[in-house]
A and B are shown apart, each in its own frame.
Chain A
Amino acid sequence: MSEIKPTDPAATNAGEEKDWAAAKAFFDSLKTRKPRPPKPQYAVTIAVSSRTLFNMVAERKIYEEEGVEKYVTFQQEHENEPLMPGVAFPLVKALMTVNSRLRQLYPDSEELFDIVLMTNNHAQVGVRLINSINHYDLTIERFCMTGGKSPIGYLKAYMTNLYLSKDGEKVTEAIEEGIAAATMFASGDVENQLSDTQLKVAFDGDAVLFSDESEIIVKQHGLDTFFEHEKEFENKPLAQGPLKCFLEALGKLQRKFYAKNERMTCPIRTYLVTARSAASSGARVLKTLRSWGLEIDEALFLAGAPKGPLLQKIRPHIFFDDQMFHIEGAKELGTIAAHVPYGIGQKYHKGELIEQPVKDKK
């Protein structure tokens, strides 16, 4: 079995095998025959926060205006009312669709998506969250409710491949810990228009899949220098960015479909949506991907044109970009956008350097 995560020798010990065996026994014994979650070290683990999975805007308001005790009481009182779907909901459904297809083709494989609910909510709020998960019949069997403490440490413990949250600070912390993460933004009602048979994931290039080294050149020396630089270093692969590993994980799952002759009906499709232009700076990007052994299904070079209209046509379940300017443009036209707070782009807004307040290290 190919590894999606590095095997930690300390991790595969007898105690863990027993836990795993017990879980297998438990799920096999259930009359409902619900699928058991995959072994974490082989799975592509996606951790979602409660506010990305469900719409908790009204509840959040209570928390902010009336405090945690009133908030928890409110949630308990409304425990049996399912929450409305949140911004990551379509993505979760698409991941479940891919899992069904994978299970059909590879019934004994642990290489599946594993969706984990990672929230710093109080455990008593958890009852409403679980009831809501039950209501929509989502395959989320693992969760961490940390009762107010930061969930970041648990991301590593669950071998998370991607973390999605509405809280930019947590996302930044995760990226600093080396975990692919993005802050999700609401985009209005797009669920009906998204594909329910194919997971579509769109990535920006610089400072998302790749490092921000080239973006630094643009910001500090301008476009002309950037084009010259990219042409000169066309054959030198760019360094990797925070979401490269996630693309890699998607690629490994895609190849499982190709191996069974399902390339044309592969339920995962990836897109590169970059402001680079194909003629002058695109080659380096494609060559870098090739040097990493990664494929991307569609590479779209916009040469500086706005990303919004193109994304509207693609209708991805999620679009990752490091620049808020592009996130806002995507959102305006209904795309589910996720901000990756990484690299030099965070210091600029619409080309202007932002005054950074001195960061308070807690």
Chain B
Amino acid sequence: MDSMVRNPDVKQRDAAQAVVVAVSSDAIFTPEVEQVHGATEPLRKGDAFSFMKAIQVVNERLLTLNSDETLLFDVILLSNDSEEKHSRIIASAKHYGLDIGRFCFCNKEDSIESLQSNNVKLFLSTDTNDVCKALQKGVPAALLYHQTDPHHQTEDQLKVVFSGDVIGSSEEMLHGLREQGFTETQLQGFKTAKGSVKEFAILMGEMRRRFGLEGSPLCTGLMTAWSSRDVCASALKTLRGWGLLVDEAFCLAGAPRSPILNLVRPHIICLDGLYHMEGFTAMS
């Protein structure tokens, strides 16, 4: 059971054609340490803020190219907060001028169902557990990359990075990983994630093609964390086959990923293999 509130300040998108993205309210607005009853001032900006601003830029550019464009980002704010906070969330969104189409208020247990029933193309959270759970239930999900230096995060270009270790690995390679200590749960997790990544990649590919090579408000990238260059090349071709021609590619082959990610500064990382290494222990 959820309560869906339309945002009167934002023009409603055609949800069937749009790229519907659900973002956790805890990501858009920093959760308050202490709940002050009756507080009315706007909530503080959260990790997803620059992402929200960046998709606004993409939408604006798409509409400039074609005022009838329907392939736009359509954001649903997903909140598990108590009822007394609902109006404050809506007011904060208005205060910052955020392009949020709908507010979805529901219990934590009902979140997945809400995502499924609203044809969400991507669910974003800063919590790897939430992302894991969504993926397991077949909801495409991605991690909002935690910026170590939020002031340097760009707001005028949306940066989406796809993780390629599993996209680019053959069945034989994945089988070989089993013998090297990867567990069955991890490998099953890879398969599920791969399936859900495809649909979002296709949408990103289509959106990216609206713009030229240079000056695009949407920048896409590929990163492989532990595999060889051939896996990265294979991932490049697979994504290309899905219609996504990524702009940047990084093959780390075991090199530390934080220094690289801190330079790439993606807003979101579409995980298939990356997070399974870190989030896994938390899951089990």
Contact = CB atoms under 8 A, between A and B. Distances in A.
B263 A34 contact: no
Contact of B278 (A18, A25, A144, A154): A18
Contacts of B176: 29-31
A145 B248 contact: yes
Contact of A40 (B219, B233, B237, B255): B255
Indicate the member of B226, B240, B278 with the most A CB atoms within 10 Å. Answer: B226
Indicate the member of A21, A130, A153 with the most B CB atoms within 10 Å. Answer: A130
B200 to A, nearest CB: 18
A18 B277 CA distance: 7
B180 A29 contact: yes
Interface residues of B, number: 44
Interface residues of A, number: 49
Interface in A133-147: 133-134, 140-147
Interface stretch (A119-127, A180-188, A223-231, A344-352): A119-127
B250 A144 contact: yes
A37 B176 CA distance: 19
Contacts of B212: 69
Interface in A19-71: 19-31, 34, 36-37, 39-40, 68-69
A31 B179 CA distance: 13
B216 to A, nearest CB: 10
B214 A123 contact: no
Contacts of A11: 256, 259
A157 B228 contact: no
Q: Is the interface of B mostly helix, strand, loop or mixed?
A: mixed
B278 A148 contact: no
Interface string A152-169: 011011100000000000
A16 interface: yes
B119 to A, nearest CB: 30
A336 interface: no
A98 B229 CA distance: 21
Contact of B236 (A19, A123, A146, A158): A123
Interface string B113-145: 000000000000000000000000000000000
A156 B260 CA distance: 9
A15 interface: yes
Given A147-B248, A157-B259, A126 B177 contact: no
10 contacts: A16-B258, A19-B254, A19-B256, A25-B181, A69-B213, A123-B236, A124-B240, A127-B233, A130-B229, A134-B230
Given A15-B278, A126-B233, 14 more contacts: A15-B277, A19-B252, A19-B277, A21-B181, A25-B177, A26-B228, A69-B213, A130-B230, A130-B232, A144-B250, A146-B248, A147-B221, A147-B247, A148-B214
Interface of A: 11, 15-16, 18-31, 34, 36-37, 39-40, 68-69, 72, 122-124, 126-127, 130-131, 133-134, 140-149, 153-154, 156-158
